[in-house]
Each structure stands twice: as structure tokens, then as C-alpha cells.
Structure 1
Amino acid sequence: MGASVGVTTMLAAGGALAEDETSRPTNPVIIVDEIMVTAQKRAENVQDVPLAITAVRGEALASMNITQPQQLSLIDPSVRFKQSLSSSASGLTIRGVGTSSFSAGIEQSISTVVDGVVLADPASLATLADVERVEILRGPQGMLFGKNASAGLVHFITNRPKLNENSGQLHLQYGERGEEVLQAIGNLAVSDTLALRLVATHNQRDGLIRNVAKDNAFTDPQDVSTLTLKALWRPSDDLTVYFSADRTDNDAFCCSSTWRKVTPGYAPAVTNARYGVVAGPKNFQVAANGPSQGKSTAQGGTLQIDYGLGEHTLTSISAYRSVKREAFYDGDLTTVSYVDTNGGAGKTDWLSQELRLTSPIGEHFDYVAGLYLFHSKASSLIRQRGQLSWITPATNGVVVPVIPGAPLGAIFETSTYNDINSTSFAGFGQVGLHITPKLDLIAGARVTRDEITLDYHRAPTPGAVYIPGSVTLDLHQEVDNTNTSWRIGPRYNFSDDIMAYATVSRGYKGPGFSGLSAANSLADQRVQPEIPTSYEAGMKAAFLDRRLIVNANVYSTTVKNFQAQVSDLTSATYSSRITNAGEIKTRGFEANLMARPATGLSITAGLAYTHARYADFNGVQCYFGQPKIAQGGPCSAPPATPTSLDGFFNAKGLSLAGVPDWVYGVSAVYERSLSPGLRGFFQANWNWQSDINYSISGDPGTIQKAYGLLGGRIGVSAPDKAWSVALYASNLLDKRYAAQITPSPVTALNPGGYVQYFSPDSVRRVGISLDVAF
């Protein structure tokens, strides 16, 4: 066992530990701290939950400088963030499964939940502040939580107001590249039964990418402000009322790109040469004449009421939220006016209501049962505007119109408007049968009814002509579905410290609409439900008097009717659409470790292996240079343009885009007293991933080689943590990596070229932080 633990410690990454020094006895017992979670809608020790779950306290997130959901891979190796062309189209993946879509009619496969409320727009959670803990649930989770958690769920639980306490916290952080973070938290005891909590934050930083054609202006700076007011009222032991209202203003463009590779003689190469831009994996410059702008506003409120009915608890969670956003960028990434404005704007409003009854954990039988209602309206605009001019080797650097006979300066534009109304009703429940003192059977089910409508509109813009292939269009379509999702499996307690479980789950992600590129009024925009089936077995164990905890699991998941964005074979303009692309299969194993080998020293570690492949995925666009069928390759030419440089094929057998096979890492925290009035602490974390291909087609030009990230924090504090000062660093080795690599947006504009997107963590950031509690 000692040898196994040693190897696991060296290989693994993933959860985090936090310890409450104020609660330590004079002679502390060295054990791993317990974390209580609500993964099954009741408070339980995470070691007793028969699910693959990572639970991390807010203090651990802060120590690793995790301020955005995109950074969760630092604490759970099975979680990745899939970057796209906009924040609304980007999203989390778990075990290789996730959704990347420009359409407001398709939701994410990974559900994002804040204090029990599902976010219809996960990107509206722009920053993390005042988080009590985060729970990451892997595999289908639609039985108990909200909707459309077909591949997993991330639940952020924030700190509630504390009764009979007047306190405050202040966090200041200053770092390289203009990084500034301010968090102010105040807790006010209004009476013995009522408390308020106010949270204000402001995060800003300089961008990474400069537009040399616009006076070296940053294209991707960040400026995010949030304000949250919470109230907790507990008039009796049986009744608790919790209210929260918040607003976030986000002035940031998430996804600025640069050229990774350009082809000589074409517009990008000519433009780069004029402005001194050198394409490559470390290129942080671009020369473009279009905009790089984005902003969003998110706001809403939540009311939760918990009422004790004897030993049972009746819970009601009511919520309303609204998000507005827009993002526009230069579609051709040059000073040539091809498509100078590409992007969109939208507004999503939603409300939800959950009512559930929770029984006490009894000797033979316990349960959770409830009802759920969700309604949303998403209105969106997708726009492309430009002059459709280009440069190719044949033009010798001269700008010419793409469309023969079209005068230079002619404005082409296509604008598409979507209104999508979605209503979902569900009844859910889970029971625990305690068959023997050691053997339990867990079974849960959810019946869901979805009703969705699409109103699609496209009309000409005064003063402009349609981009070729677009026509005036109005259509109305409807889709509905009734589904039963479920989970069942045994849990066996070998002892108080060792538990094993096995489950079979059938998940569900509801139907939706493409709404991107309808060619005519008969074009079917409906997308059918996505259905995963998952088998999982795991073990959770504590050793050495709970100084060491080791959790591990294996799984196998098949997703049928996988909802994906593909190129439209019927379109002459190579536009995209959402479809049921076929089937994917993912299997692997996960392990994490938490250890307290000595007083003041905590180690957390984890390892994930993911074998994720497309079992059937037709309609994938071939990468440039991939042989056609006539040349002995897989690619068939598009029907609209049989002589096109592009083609399409079935990606069966290829790895899922954006999924590394191996991810591991380790984090260590050491704390000790330096003097009676001073405490020192040190934290370091290392995360590594294997090669990753960002393209569905297996394009060799979209591979990001394996890399590792080193971060850390060192500082001093008062023994009671009334204050602390720390130096912090993320990506200390300054590893430049691409968060996304894609082929040139238009093959004919730059055949064989590639663009790339960088994460804010793609560069080193070193800074200083100050925390004060009073």
C-alpha cells in the first residue's frame, strides 16, 4: 500500500484542502478535514456519497488564485474548458463530453448551478467571489439537479449571512499585466434572527493581444464588477428564509485570436508583412480593421425557504435571472475588408421553481422527492458584414472583389434573428434502501417534459446586399419531448473508512433548435434529445487514521444523438448548423488523493485518463489538404460546390476534439508558526496534460503539445488569520499554450492557415495580495 500511495502522490492532481486553524485543539490530531456536500440534496460527508465528486472549499480556490470557472481544471483533472469564438459558445467539458455552439437554442451538457439555481447562460458567471465550496459531479446528473446535466454538473455554493455576527473581509490583489482584484465583504447582524451580507468585487487586467493596425490597442482586456446582497432570516428552528440578489457588469471580449500560420501571398500574409506581425505559436499581435468588442450584464434574484415538518424538510427555491450580451470581432482578422464584423447579441431571461421534500436518514429507508419548473426566452442576433474583398497570390497584393463583377466597397450583410421559448416540467426522486448495516441500494429517477418553439427571421439590411447563399426567410417550428432519466446502484461499506459503489445511469439533455443557417422555409431546425448511458464503479477509502484518503473510479459512457455543431453540406457559404451528429463513446479512470503526512502539511493530488472517441459523426469538414475520395481519402466534396477545396467525412474512430488522454497534477500546502504572533504558509501546484487536438477532423495543424503549469503562493499571516500578505504566481514558468486552435475561418482566404486563442493563464502572472478580516 505504501508503494501504491507513493506512486499515486507523484502522479495525481485534483481536489483541494482547506483547514480552519481557529478550530484546532492545542494538540491537533493530524487528519484530512471532512467536507460536507449536498450532491444528493442533503448534507453528507463527501466520502459517503456514491458519486464521482470533487469538493473544494472556497479558501482552497483563493489559495490557488482560481477566480473564474474556466480554471476548474486546476482542481479536477476531468474538467476542461472548451474555448470557442464567443463566451456564450464556450463551455466546460467533463470526461470529454461538452457542448460548443453559437446557437441560443442549444444548452450546455455540463450544467452550471449557483446555490441550487441552474444558469441558462453559464457564461454569465464571470468571476468567483465569496464561495463557500464548489462541488463537481462527474457523469449524468439530471436525476436531482435542474435540467440538461447529461455529462456532469458544477455547483457553486456561496457563503450565506451569519446570524449574530458583525464582520468584514477585504481582499486586494495587484499583479503583472495590469491585474487588479478587489473584493469587499460585509456581514451585519440586524437582529438575533436576521442577518445581511454584502459582496462587492472588481476584477480587471490588461489584454494579451494587441492590434497593431489600431495603435497597439488591446483587443481583450477584462473589466468585471459584481454586487450581491444576501439576507438570512431564521425566526424559528423550523423556518429559514434565504434571499440573494446580484448584478454583474462584464466589459470584456473573451476570445481574441491571432494568426498561428499564414500562407504566402494571401491576405493574412500580406497584411502581416505590412505591419510586422509574425505568425506563430507565441504570436500576441494582429492587424485588423474590424472591431474586437464585447460586454454583458447579468442580474437576478433567488429566494429559498426551508421549513421543518417534524423530521422532514420542505424546500422551495424560486429564481429569476436575465442576461444581455454582445460580442463582435473582425471575421477575417486582416485589414482587408472581407468580413469586418462577425458576431452577435442576445438577451436571455429565465425563471425556475423547485419544490422538494427531504426525509431524515433512517434505519431502513430515506428519500428525496420534488417538482421542478423552468421557463426561458432567448432572443439573439447573428450578423456578418463586410465587403467580400480579398488578396490571393494571383492578385499580386492587390485587393479584388470575391464576387466577380461586384464593385469594391459594396457592403454585404446577413443578419439572422431567433426567438426561442423553452418550458420544462419535471418530477424527480431518489431513495436509499438500507438492506443491511453495510449494504445500501440507491435508486433515482426523473420524468421531464420539454416544450420549445423557434421563431426565425432573416431580412435584408438597407444599404447592403445579402452575403451569397442568404435569402429572406421567416419560419416557426416546435419540438417537444417526454423523457425518463434514472440512476441505480449498490453501495457497500466494508468498514467505517472504506466504501465501494457501482451505478448505471441514463442521462438526458433536452431537444433544441439550430437556428444558425436555415436555407429555406422547409429547413428543419429541430435537434433531438441527447441521451447518455453511463456505467461507473468506484471506491472511497481512508487509511492511516484518516491521514490519507484515496478515491478512485472507472467509467464507460455512450452518448447517442450527440448534439454538435458541424458544417452545413447544403450551404454554398460553408455556414454551420447544429445537428444530432451521431454517437460518442468515452471511458477511463479517475483517482484523487488527500493526505496529511505531518502537522501543517497537506497534499492533494489526482489523475484522469480519458479515452474519448467518435463512434459515428458524419458531416465533419475535412482539414485542408486531406485527400478526397477520388484520391484515396475520406473526403467527399460538398454538393453545392463539387470543385471546392473543402470536403466532408465521417469522423468515426477519431478522438473527441479538445480532450487530452492524460491529465495529472499535485498541490501541496505547508503552514507553521514562525513566532507567537506570526504564521507562515507556502502553497505550490503543478498541473500537466498530454497532447490535445482541438479539431474534430484530427487536423495535424490543430495540435497543442503537452504542457505543464506551475503556480504557487507564499506569505505570512496572523495566527487567527486576521490579516495575511502573500506573493502569488500563476504559470510561473511562462508556458505559452493555445486554449484553442482552428483552421483559417475561410479556407479560400488563407488555405492551410490557422488561428489560435489564448487563455489569460497562457502567460506568467506574478503579484501580491493582502487579506484583512475584522
Structure 2
Amino acid sequence: MRTHGMNTKRTAMSIGVSLALSTAPVWAQGGSGSTVMEDGFLEEVVVTATKRSASVQDIPLAVTAISGDRLTELQITSLLDLDKSVPGMQVNNKGNDPVIIMRGAGAAGVNDIAVPIYIDGLYRPRAGQALASYIDIQRVEVLRGPQGTLFGRNTLGGLVNLIANKPDVGELSWGAAVTAGNYDYQRYEGYVNIPMGDTVALRITASDTSQDPFVENVFNSSAGLKDEDNQYARAQLLWAPTDRFDITLTATYWEDTANGNSDYAYKVLGIPVNPQTGQTNGINGVMQPRQGVTDGFGGGKEFTGVFPQDSTAATIDDPFKISSDFRPQRDIEETSFSALINWDLGFADLRANLGVFDYEERRLTDSDMSANPTLNGQLVGEYDGFCVDYSNPEGPWWYWDATTQQRCGIAAGERNESNAVQADINLNSNSDGDLQWTLGYFLYDDSDPDDTQYEFVYGYANSATPQRPRWAHWLSASFGGTKSQAVYGQAEYSFTDRFRMTAGLRYSKDERNFYSGSLNEESRQRDWPTFTLNRDSANKGDDDHTDWRLAAQYDIGDNMMLYASAATGYIAGNPIRAGSTELSDPNEVEAFELGLKSTLLDGTMTLNLALFNNDFDGLSTTVFVPQGGTIIAQTAPGGSMTARGLEVEMVWQPTPALNITAGANFDDSELDEFTEGESRFAEGGEIGPAGDRIYDLSGKKPRFSPDYTLNLGVSYDWDLGGAGVLIPGAFIYHTDDYKTQNVEYFFAKQDAYTTLDLRLTWMSASGAITAQAFVKNATDEEYLTETTVFSGARAFADFGDPRTYGVRLGYNF
């Protein structure tokens, strides 16, 4: 259906709430991104999901658009808060890294991020880049399903695109807001828009956020987890000399210096043990609530296979309390520069989006996650009877005190550095004819080994300065990355006023180029050792792929559109072994979607449905296998998976004051041919060739795929006349039970639960002042967001945020 001509602004009073920082012309109500005009019709919402401006109700694609106003209203300040508002989207912490799972992508082994983040249309490849704060945002567009033609680059399950408010030459404006809450949460944010003549405008945005840890460390009060300490700044300069040409230059800087969220997961649950046999077992075991760090090697298991009691290192039952000695660190710093050029050439619009990014991330964590002292580690060849014992050549000499029989604390960490360049240049037809087309070129390059590197370090700390580890073990480094190029095109043709078809094609070429690094011995005792690039040990290879998209849409009357689409996507493989010039098989998906978009009840409701089936092939998984007295990670073929389901989004304003949003996702996904290995458990599954346990998961549901999820939002605009508007609101999210790992470990299962968010907002009659009181997770629901198994057969978990509450005050000029 075509919805042109429906774009009329509401008055400030009838909008309901416009909180502090957004100057966007629409306030997206929940899932569909629609707003309500003063005459009662849902206002058209324009998105750029097809690389051109189009109504969200007109494109044959499942898109959730959430405006900056709506983000502020729901206290969505980062990616981790977004998923409950998007049907079928799961965002979880994998240690410090947020991981998005959508339509199955990311649920089972992929070679790279399967649902990436874009900021103003530019791709962000690192998981940590998704931790940047949401501030002064015009809207967020979530595209569901593979975007292999127009976006390409790893969009196996979709993408999330954050679009910032842009400079405006029309008027001087500014806004500021402050939020305070429990856990000493403090957030200060503001923007200023400065016209500089008729053709130039400057917009500056900044925020500062801090919060005490959600997770209390009872041994070291400075070493809590899940805290916040980040600052963000953005400057944009617009030059629009004519109505046919403009360029926006953007510079951003943000840093995060919080303790973070540990690696993999933060909470030690204990050791899964089969009470009948006394062996570790994650399937038929029970949880022994022990840290697994004393009374022997392997999580408290003696070499004889006996599990003595470990009362001195019992776990803490509270999911938000830990006991460890080493204060973790998460230091992230990113600087970016970009240029967005728009040029009306008459027959078409040229759009060039260019960017350079300098990203550095450094992490340190208490790897043993215990109060055992992370200190007194010795260099190779030295032995003083404490923490390092070389008398046993079979090990475990690197963390064993032969006198006290106590495992010593270990610090581990990693450092990522990435300097990348990016370009996305496209040409869009701008005629009113039946044929609309897009042609484009894409480049992403972080392959220079002098600019991009990853380091993993593992060792003890110096006894005099415990926060400065003396690195000794498992040191590795890699240099280089990926150069990806693509050409793409897409065309839409209107055969009649009601029937249209879309066809798209993209050719991509990915070059992987990695070199290993060796430890610089002179820096071994430093808090972060240096590495030397070894160009003789190269892991590299090329991969190319052709993706396509085909869609047909038919308008059933003026307010309803039915569409069907088929599309593909891929993620390039990785080098299969050291010194290899061959890449592993790529991850691939073929996706089919049938959808309905409708405007009902005299224009007061939008109802959108999407039925999808995604077939994944070439999946891989990371397995841990023993080698030479330790455990190493290997990548092995994983097989295939089918993700299928139904997504529903609804926005309804039955009266001028009552606003209702709802969303649902029904999932029937399964792993087709898929295996995973786990070397840490003595029982369960089948014994693989390397001695690890192999689990055949064919026919099982993948992780984070509950049978259904539901969300419901309700708000009411209570007009107080000259005293302003009072808006109470509630948001309810419910999920069926799910598992957090593909293997059906008993400790990785989460029962169904419901969360409730409440808010009360007041806005002055002029709309300049807003005040909001809010509670998130009002019932303080406890729920799993991640589990993993680590050294010593120890089970670890991550939990969702506890109840938080606060007050936000904002002013717009």
C-alpha cells in the first residue's frame, strides 16, 4: 500500500511525551515505529532500510523502527535494553561482549558476528562497539532476516542501525537531562544545535554515565561487576550550499573504563557431578556448590577421581554476589571520523558514506574467579615452593602450591586494536516512474597487520602490585584482519498500481589475512607484554560469494499489503589452520518470508505479520579439546539449522489519550545436523577421538529460542490543562522457557518468566520540561542470560539485571 500524504505533526499536548533530547518529528509508538496525529491517524514513519527513504508500511521487509523519544520513554540507553521491544530479538552478554541472536542467526556456531551494529549506516565489526551509549538518537531501525544484497557484510540474521539526530540550519536549540537511580546510577546528557548562517550548522552531543556494580564482590569491594563508567561525545558539521547537495562531517569519541562483566560469564554455579558415579556430568548431574579451586586439580577433583569436600570455597547462593580478589578492568576507547555526502544529480541521488575508525579494547579479569591470591607467580625456571611447582613434569605446575595443596589465583586478559576504513557509495534513482533502482559499492578494510591486532594473555600477578600481572603462560597474538569489497544492485518495478516486484544481487569478496605474534621476552614482567609480528606464520585466504533477493508485494486495498520474499546471506570462512591459505566453508542462509502490513480501524491501528523460514548451512562451533596437559579450542564443522517462526507487531490508539503497543514471536526452530564437543565433563554424550565428550544435537532446539515471547505496552495521556500532561505507562515482557546452551545441560535451562517496567512522566504545557520516575524489572525477576563451562568442569552463569529505579529530569530549549 502507498501511504504518501499522511505526514502531519501533532501538537505538543497530544504527543503525550517528548523527553528532553529528541528533536525528531515523530515519536515511534513501540514496535512499528508509528505515531498518532491529532486527527487520529497513525503517522507515516519513514525509514532507510532499503538505502532510500520509504514508509515502513510500504517495503516488503520486516523492520522495527523505534524513535529516540520512545527509547527515552522506555529507558533504553544501550543495545542490552533493546531486545524486549523487538519480536524475536535476543541480546545477551557473552562475558563483556553483547551478542545478538535473531531468527536463529548467532544461536549456533558462526564465523563472525551474525547480527551486526551499524551507526548512521556504517558497519561496526567488534562486539564491544555495541556498548556505546544511545544518546541524541533520531531512531533505531532493526531489520530482521538476512540483508545480503544491500548491506551484505555478515548480516546473516539482520542488523541494527542507529541513526543520530542531524544538524539543522533552521534554529538554535539545546537540551539537557540528568538521570539518577539506585546503585548510584548517574547519567548526564545534553546537545546543542547551532546554525552558522543559512548553509552551515553544528550539532554537539555528549553524555557521562556511571553506576555502581549490580554484582557485589564480598571479598574485594572494588572488584564488583556489571557497573558503568563511560563518556561519549559527538560533533556533526553540516554544510548544505544548495538544496541539491549537502555534506555532514562527524567526529565521535567514547570510552568505557568500567570493571565490566568478566569473561564468558561472571557467576560460579559449582561443579556438576553425577551423585551415582562421582564423575562430572552436565546432563544427569547435580550441582555441587563449590568454587572448584581447592583440594586438587580439575575443579576440586583429585587425580584418583575422588571429589573431596570444598567447604572453604563454597559458592554464594545470591546471583548478584561473588568472591574474588582481582579487580577486573574493561578499558574501551574509540575515535571515529565520517563524511556523509548527498548529491542530487537529477536522474539519481548519489550518497557516499565514508568512515575511519580507531578502536582499542583492553580487558583483564580474575580468571579463577575466586579469592585465592592472584599474586606471587614466578617466571619459568624459578620455584620458591609457592604457586609454581616444576617438580611434576606432567603438571599442573603453573598454578599449584605443593605445600598447601591450594590452587593459586590467575589473571587473564585480551587486547583488541582495530584501525579500519569503510566506504558505502550508492546511486538511487529519483524519478516517479515505474522502475526504481539502486547501485552501490562497499569497502571495509582492517587487514593491515600494523593497524589491527588481537592479544591473549594469561598469568599471575606481582605480589607487591596485584593489579599488575606478571604474565607467564598461554601467551598469543594475531595481527591483521579482513578486507571486504562488494558491488550490489537492487531494482523495484511496479507492474500495476497494486503489484510490485523487487530483485537484488550482490557480489562480495573477502580476504582474510592473519599473522601470528611471539612474546617479546624483555617485556614479560610488565602489566601488558609486547609481541613481535611473525610474518612467516600466515593464516590467510580469499572467499567470494553472490547473494540475491527476490520479493513480490501486492496491495490488498489502500491499507493492506501482502508480500513474499526469498533472500540469501553469508559470512566468510576463517583460515582452517596455521600457515593455511585456505578458508573454512562459509556460513550460509537461504531465507523465505511471507508478510502482511496493514493499517486498520480507521487508521488508528497498524498490524504487521511476518512468517519466516531460514535454512542455515556451513555452521561451525568452538569445541575444547585436551592437548598436552591443557585444553585448547578448535573450530569444527557444525552442520545445519532451520529457524522458522511468526512475528507480530501491533500499534493501536483506540482513543486520543490511550496508546497500546504489542509484539509477539512464535518460534519452531531446530538444529538439523549439529554436534558440539565438551572436554571438561567425564560423562555425557559420546566419547570423541580426542577424548572429549561429543553431543549429537540433531533435532534439538537451538539456544535462546523460546517457543514464544510476548510484549505489551500501555500508556495514557492525562491532560492537566495548563499544568501539562501526566502519562502513566507500563511495559510487560513474557518469555517461555529456553536454554542458554545448545547442549541440554541441566544448569542451562531457564523457566518461563515475566518482567514488568513502570513509568510516570510529566510534561509541561509548553513541552520544554519533562520529569519521569521509572522502575525496570519491578518484580525483581531473576533469569539466566548466559551459561558456560570452563576449566575444572565449573559451570558459570550470567543473569539479567535486577530491579532498578530512578528519576529523569529534562529540559529542551
1:635 maps to what in 2?
Answer: 686
In 2, Cα distance between equivalents of 1:341 and 1:132: 42
State the 1:756 CA deviation: 1.4
2:122 maps to what in 1?
Answer: 117
In 1, Cα distance between equivalents of 2:562 and 2:475: 55
State the 1:268 CA deviation: 4.7
In 2, Cα distance between equivalents of 1:613 and 1:232: 49
Q: 1:421 touches 1:452 (CA, 8 Å); kept in 2?
A: yes
Between 1:304-313 and 1:45-54, the stretch displaced more is: 304-313
Answer yes or no: is 1:247 the counterpart of 2:257: no
> Aligned runs of 1:425-444 on 2, under 5 Å?
425-444=485-504
Q: 1:570 touches 1:638 (CA, 8 Å); kept in 2?
A: no
State the 1:668 CA deviation: 1.4
> Aligned runs of 1:294-693 on 2, under 5 Å?
294-336=330-372, 337-338=407-408, 340-360=410-430, 362-377=432-447, 378-386=452-460, 412-459=472-519, 475-513=537-575, 521=578, 526-568=583-625, 573-621=630-678, 624=681, 626-627=683-684, 634-639=685-690, 642=691, 646-693=692-739
Secondary structure of the equivalent of 2:82?
helix
Between 1:285-294 and 1:538-547, the stretch displaced more is: 285-294
Quick one: structure 1 residues 570 and 661, their matched pair in 2 at CA, closer, same or farther if it must change by over 3 Å?
farther
Between 1:450-459 and 1:426-435, the stretch displaced more is: 450-459
Secondary structure of the equivalent of 1:676?
helix
In 1, Cα distance between equivalents of 2:512 and 2:745: 36
User: Deviations for 1:652-676, whole angstroms, at most 9, x for unmatched residues?
Assistant: 2222123322111111121131122
> Aligned runs of 1:753-772 on 2, under 5 Å?
753-759=794-800, 762-772=801-811
State the 1:99 CA deviation: 6.9
What code does the residue aligned with 1:536 have? Answer: E
Quick one: structure 1 residues 657 and 361, their matched pair in 2 at CA, closer, same or farther if it must change by over 3 Å?
farther
Secondary structure of the equivalent of 1:335?
coil
What code does the residue aligned with 2:413 have? Answer: G
Across the aligned residues of Structure 1 and Structure 2, the Cα RMSD in angstroms comes to: 2.7
State the 1:508 CA deviation: 1.6
User: Deviations for 1:540-581, whole angstroms, at most 9, x for unmatched residues?
Assistant: 011111111110011111111124333247675332234442
Q: Structure 1: where are the runs of 5+ without partners?
A: 1-12, 388-408, 465-471, 628-633
Quick one: structure 1 residues 719 and 623, their matched pair in 2 at CA, closer, same or farther if it must change by over 3 Å?
farther
Q: 1:413 touches 1:461 (CA, 8 Å); kept in 2?
A: no
What code does the residue aligned with 1:418 have? Answer: S
State the 1:138 CA deviation: 0.6
Secondary structure of the equivalent of 1:124?
helix
In 1, Cα distance between equivalents of 2:422 and 2:91: 26
1:292 maps to what in 2?
Answer: 328
- Aligned counterpart for 2:791 among listed residues 729, 746, 771: 746
Answer yes or no: is 1:92 the counterpart of 2:100: yes
Between 1:178-187 and 1:671-680, the stretch displaced more is: 671-680
Secondary structure of the equivalent of 2:586?
coil
User: Deviations for 1:429-486, whole angstroms, at most 9, x for unmatched residues?
Assistant: 110011111111110111111111110234586779xxxxxxx996212110121101
In 2, Cα distance between equivalents of 1:264 and 1:114: 43
In 1, Cα distance between equivalents of 2:346 and 2:88: 40
State the 1:490 CA deviation: 0.7
In 1, Cα distance between equivalents of 2:607 and 2:289: 54
User: Deviations for 1:378-414, whole angstroms, at most 9, x for unmatched residues?
Assistant: 3010122259xxxxxxxxxxxxxxxxxxxxx998511
What code does the residue aligned with 2:805 have? Answer: V
User: Deviations for 1:68-125, whole angstroms, at most 9, x for unmatched residues?
Assistant: 11221121021111321332xx421111211788x9xx53111211111111224223
In 1, Cα distance between equivalents of 2:423 and 2:117: 16
2:766 maps to what in 1?
Answer: 720
Quick one: structure 1 residues 477 and 364, their matched pair in 2 at CA, closer, same or farther if it must change by over 3 Å?
same
Quick one: structure 1 residues 386 and 575, their matched pair in 2 at CA, closer, same or farther if it must change by over 3 Å?
farther
What code does the residue aligned with 1:98 have? Answer: G
1:223 maps to what in 2?
Answer: 229
In 2, Cα distance between equivalents of 1:477 and 1:693: 35
In 1, Cα distance between equivalents of 2:720 and 2:627: 70
Answer yes or no: is 1:279 the counterpart of 2:316: yes
2:220 maps to what in 1?
Answer: 214
- Aligned counterpart for 1:700 among listed residues 746, 750, 771: 746
In 1, Cα distance between equivalents of 2:761 and 2:604: 25
Taking structure 2 as the reference length, what is the TM-score of the superposition?
Answer: 0.81
2:3 maps to what in 1?
Answer: none
Secondary structure of the equivalent of 1:701?
helix
1:76 maps to what in 2?
Answer: 86
Q: 2:592 touches 2:612 (CA, 8 Å); kept in 1?
A: yes
1:131 maps to what in 2?
Answer: 137
Taking structure 1 as the reference length, what is the TM-score of the superposition?
Answer: 0.85
In 2, Cα distance between equivalents of 1:637 and 1:540: 50
Secondary structure of the equivalent of 2:94?
coil
Quick one: structure 1 residues 600 and 269, their matched pair in 2 at CA, closer, same or farther if it must change by over 3 Å?
farther
Quick one: structure 1 residues 191 and 513, their matched pair in 2 at CA, closer, same or farther if it must change by over 3 Å?
farther
In 2, Cα distance between equivalents of 1:78 and 1:253: 30
Quick one: structure 1 residues 415 and 448, their matched pair in 2 at CA, closer, same or farther if it must change by over 3 Å?
same
In 1, Cα distance between equivalents of 2:561 and 2:803: 41
What code does the residue aligned with 1:114 have? Answer: I
2:69 maps to what in 1?
Answer: 59
What code does the residue aligned with 1:353 have? Answer: A
What code does the residue aligned with 2:791 have? Answer: V
User: Deviations for 1:31-68, whole angstroms, at most 9, x for unmatched residues?
Assistant: 22321101111111100010011111110011000001
Quick one: structure 1 residues 572 and 358, their matched pair in 2 at CA, closer, same or farther if it must change by over 3 Å?
farther
In 2, Cα distance between equivalents of 1:576 and 1:14: 42
Q: 2:92 touches 2:99 (CA, 8 Å); kept in 1?
A: yes
Q: 2:540 touches 2:582 (CA, 8 Å); kept in 1?
A: no
Q: Structure 2: where are the runs of 5+ without partners?
A: 1-28, 272-287, 301-308, 373-406, 462-468, 526-532
1:404 maps to what in 2?
Answer: none
Q: 2:291 touches 2:315 (CA, 8 Å); kept in 1?
A: no
State the 1:305 CA deviation: 0.8
Between the two proteins, the alignment pairs up a number of residues equal to 699
Quick one: structure 1 residues 248 and 690, their matched pair in 2 at CA, closer, same or farther if it must change by over 3 Å?
same
Identity of aligned residues (%): 22
2:394 maps to what in 1?
Answer: none
What code does the residue aligned with 2:736 have? Answer: S
In 2, Cα distance between equivalents of 1:66 and 1:208: 17
In 2, Cα distance between equivalents of 1:177 and 1:184: 22
Q: 2:292 touches 2:313 (CA, 8 Å); kept in 1?
A: no
State the 1:612 CA deviation: 2.4
Q: 1:18 touches 1:59 (CA, 8 Å); kept in 2?
A: no
In 2, Cα distance between equivalents of 1:37 and 1:580: 38
In 1, Cα distance between equivalents of 2:620 and 2:715: 41
